[in-house]
């Protein structure tokens, strides 16, 4: 019998898997993946970050240094290791990460002849999740719509799109939604878009407000808006999510609000099955 309080006994259900995607670089994908994951973990949800970007910024952002690593996501994708053995803990209780390094660049080339190459992450993640239970998985994607991002979209239930409110933001968004539709029509029919997260928002900038309004007309946009905040850009150099670096900062508060909103949406969307699950969890 598992102990009632053992982490692996807490949730019998499948975790929610979110891919953090935008083909544009520098829009706040990694900042969102790291800080939303940390905020969700702070709400006592067992959370995993999967770093699918060879730049490894999510890994260094939670204090995992490339040099000390024996195994990374690359090893799991090419079938040389189990993803479970790649996962390491972070300083945030309940937050783990499957880290990546530059090696990951090679995965795209090495998998080119594999007919199942788009499904590698889905497969290894499913194996890992069968052995270790998580409530949330956030997949940080590289700034492209190449094979690594397609793997993330194949493995995910839903997509989170960080968006910087600039002039061309909507154009990029349209292109991204077309890619998501292609994935839905092909390898992952149940993929959905959870919503757009407005990042680096400058409320004194009129254009930012106009772009935000336009995006809201077409997509579900989270009410929690992430302001431009220097603490968010400083935290990664300390290897910490912002809630461990300066929890009072506007940036930290923004991601904590976003986490609350996400958890509320998920609770509201919860099926009868998840209500039963919650009752079982409460009873144990």
Ligand X SMILES: Nc1ncnc2c1ncn2[C@@H]1O[C@H](COP(=O)(O)OP(=O)(O)O)[C@@H](O)[C@H]1O
CB of 25 to Mg ion, least distance (A): 7
Select the binding partner of residue 256 from ligand X, Mg ion, none (C-beta < 5 to 8 A, by kind). none
- Nearest distance from residue 221's CB to ligand X, in Å? 16
Partner in contact with 26, chosen from Mg ion, ligand X, none, beta carbon below 5 to 8 Å by kind = ligand X
Which residue among 251, 252, 256, 258 contacts ligand X (CB under 6 A)? 251
Which among 73-81, 95-103, 182-190, 225-233 is the span making contact with ligand X, rule CB under 6 A?
225-233
**Of 47, 62, 34, 20, whose CA–CA distance to 132 is shortest?**
47
Q: Which of residues 55-114 bind Mg ion (CB under 5 A)?
A: 57
Q: Tell me which of ligand X, Mg ion, none is bound by residue 233, counting a contact when its beta carbon lies within the kind-specific cut-off of 5 to 8 angstroms.
A: ligand X
Which residues make Cβ contacts (< 8 Å) with residue 69, sequence separation at least 6? 99, 101
Distances (CA, A) of 262 to 2, 98, 136, 185: 29, 22, 11, 26
Question: Own/partner pairs for 207-215, CB < 8 Å, 24+ apart?
Answer: 207/165, 207/166, 207/167, 208/165, 209/165, 211/165, 211/166, 211/167, 211/169, 211/170, 212/165, 214/170, 215/163, 215/165, 215/169, 215/170, 215/173
User: Which of residues 30 and 72 has its CB atom nearest to Mg ion in the complex?
Assistant: 30
**Of residues 126-155, those binding ligand X (CB under 6 A):** 143
Q: What is the distance between the alpha carbons of residues 145 and 178, in angstroms, rounded to a whole number?
A: 11
In whole angstroms, how close is the CB of 257 to ligand X at the nearest point?
A: 13
Q: Which residue, 13 or 144, is less far from ligand X as judged by CB? A: 144
Which spans of this chain sit near ligand X (rule: CB under 6 A)? 25-31, 57, 143, 199-200, 226, 228-229, 232-233, 236, 251
């Amino acid at each position: 019998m598992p102990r009632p309080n053992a982490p692996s006994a807490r949730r019998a259900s499948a975790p929610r898997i979110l891919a953090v995607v935008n083909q544009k670089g520098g829009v706040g994908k990694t900042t969102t993946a790291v800080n939303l994951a940390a905020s969700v973990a702070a709400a006592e949800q067992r959370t995993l970050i999967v770093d699918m970007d060879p730049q490894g910024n999510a890994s260094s952002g939670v204090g995992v240094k490339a040099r000390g690593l024996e195994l990374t996501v690359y090893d799991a994708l090419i079938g040389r290791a189990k993803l479970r053995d790649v996962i390491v803990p972070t300083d945030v209780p309940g937050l783990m990460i499957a880290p990546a390094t530059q090696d990951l660049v090679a995965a795209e080339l090495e998998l080119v002849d594999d007919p199942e190459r788009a499904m590698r992450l889905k497969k290894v993640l499913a194996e890992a999740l069968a052995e270790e239970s998580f409530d949330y998985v956030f997949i940080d994607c590289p700034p492209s719509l190449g094979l690594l991002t397609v793997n993330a979209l194949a493995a995910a239930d839903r997509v989170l799109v960080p968006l910087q409110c600039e002039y061309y933001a909507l154009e990029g968004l349209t292109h991204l939604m077309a890619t998501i539709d292609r994935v839905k029509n092909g390898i992952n029919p149940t993929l959905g878009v959870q919503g757009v997260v407005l990042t680096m928002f400058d409320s004194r900038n009129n254009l930012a407000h106009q772009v935000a309004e336009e995006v809201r007309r077409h997509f579900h946009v989270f009410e929690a808006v992430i302001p431009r905040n220097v603490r968010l850009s400083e935290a990664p150099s300390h290897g910490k999510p912002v809630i461990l670096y300066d929890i009072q900062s506007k940036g930290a508060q923004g991601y904590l609000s976003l986490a609350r909103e996400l958890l509320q949406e998920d609770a509201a969307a919860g099926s009868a099955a998840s209500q039963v699950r919650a009752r079982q969890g409460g009873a144990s």
